[in-house]
Structure 1
Amino acid sequence: MKLNITCIVNTGYRKRSLQEFEKLLYDTSYVDAYKNENSIAKASVEKVWQHFFKHNQWIFGYGLDYRFQSILQDEVNLNTADLDGKNTVNGDFLLADNKFTTFVEIKRPDMQLFHGNRNRADCWKLSSDLYDAHSQILEHKASGQIKLQMDITN
């Protein structure tokens, strides 16, 4: 692969994006500044992260064996709501390429991943937050597959 001006521009953009990512992780005052700069109406910190990732889709490919996928839909509704419209769960992103779809559920960086003690196998115990996130992804996957099958048959 030849190095060209596009590679240089992309590298510069990604470097700035990673610096912004670091500020969002560690500087709580920057989260509010980012929200204001980008006119993010909802107060949730998760909305800030969704906005950041929507504008930096290239990051997702690095955790997927460099399969660069694009966002098909953000805040994708994957399950069916109750009759009163409650209990709907939205995934943060649905990504795809020509072979794969990926459900993305963003969790805040301050989410506890492990308990402070180890289990009997001397392994770290997973936190209830991490179990909940995993369960949420499994539900998204199952509901998404059902929804896709229903769309195909209709």
Structure 2
Amino acid sequence: MITDFVLDDRPQVASLCSVTIIKKGDTFTPRIKLWKKDKKRAGEIPATQTVPETGNTRAVKALVDTKDVHENFWKVIHFLQGCTGLSTPGGSPQFVAGDEAQLAQLLTGQDRTMVLGAVRTAIGGGLTEEDIRLISNRKDQLKRFERLLTDPEYFRHEESLATTRGTEAVWQAFFEANQWIFGYGLNLIACESINDGKLERITTGANIFGGAGKRIDAIMRSKGLISSMLFCEIKTHDTELLSKTPYRVGVYQASKELGGGVAQVQKTVSKAQQFISREFLTHIYDDDGTPTGIEMSTTRPRQVVVIGSLREFTHNGHVNPEKMNSFELYRTSIQDVEIITFDELYERARFIVEDH
């Protein structure tokens, strides 16, 4: 920190202001010392002056330390700054916050419109209160996403609170509440739920296509003049991606859950396509049969399986190249199904919110 300030600098004497920051509890208060330094002598030696006094002269040290009266000293300064019509040198006082907590404290109690206007001025652009609420909520949900991935105790707590028990139910509820993660995270084309509804839908039987039923964890549509369909199966972050024992030396096969998830989404899409019709476009209906006005292309719907974590391939902080290679070879060989791990989905969501 800068603690000494030069107020005036002359050939023999410099006028200085020294500031010391004192911590008391959770607050910091400044102590100020005003003094003149004797530049002819080494070290911090105050200059002396001769002043007239009843016809004689005496030497005094030109030093004023306010450490014992600092509260009253600052009362005087604040009083002068608050006087209407009194111009204090240096212009308006500037407040500098060292972190978010200090900045938030400065803004507490201020008018919301004024605060929002100040933020717009600072960062530019047409920022709205809804924008701030949206960004804030997504940051909170991103932190929750990370805790669900990395904190087993927190995940078990969330599982105990879920309406439907089970690991998959926790993730299903989380993604239902945060559809933006899928909307931007699964491909470069923005996606959204069907007709602003739930992700999980019945796709065969009494279903959204008009007729009981195979469920899919998430069915979405791309955003555009005409939408394309996207089916997604959601497993868990702890689901194994590869078999524990190698099939041959250096060769690992896909786990039963991974192979089953791929087969499951493929079968769901196949049945849905057979049920819909042979038309290239299909109409979407509400549960009561009311047409929604949404048309979707049924030509080769995209298929996604969200499963496991790439941490499975690490040991003591290092990646097992044979396991990683086996996994990449498997998922790139599946032509119609995109396999995404939970940690990859988290990083994509993190990029949306934090841009890194």
Report TM bin, short chain: 0.7 to 0.9
Residue from 221, 225, 250 that aligns with 1:96: 221
Distance apart, 1:35 and its partner CA: 4.7
Give the equivalent residue in structure 1 for 2:202. 77
1: CA distance between counterparts of 2:147 and 2:168? 15
Relative to the length of structure 1, the TM-score reads 0.74
Q: Unaligned stretches of 5+ in structure 2? A: 1-124, 206-212, 283-356
- Supply the RMSD in Å over aligned alpha carbons: 3.2
1: CA distance between counterparts of 2:250 and 2:276? 41
Does 2:158 correspond to 1:34?
yes
Q: 20-29 or 45-54, which moves further after superposition?
A: 20-29
Query: Is the 8 Å Cα contact of residues 202 and 215 (structure 2) preserved in structure 1?
Result: yes
Distance apart, 1:128 and its partner CA: 1.8
Residue from 190, 198, 205 that aligns with 1:67: 190
Give the equivalent residue in structure 1 for 2:255. 127
**Partner SS state of residue 96, structure 1:** strand
2: CA distance between counterparts of 1:134 and 1:68? 21
Distance apart, 1:122 and its partner CA: 5.5
Give the equivalent residue in structure 1 for 2:116. none
Higher relative contact order (CA 8 A, sep 6+): 1
Q: Greater share of helix residues, 1 or 2?
A: 1
Does 2:132 correspond to 1:4?
no
Relative to the length of structure 2, the TM-score reads 0.35
Does 2:144 correspond to 1:20?
yes
Q: Greater share of strand residues, 1 or 2?
A: 2
Does 2:271 correspond to 1:143?
yes
Distance apart, 1:118 and its partner CA: 5.6
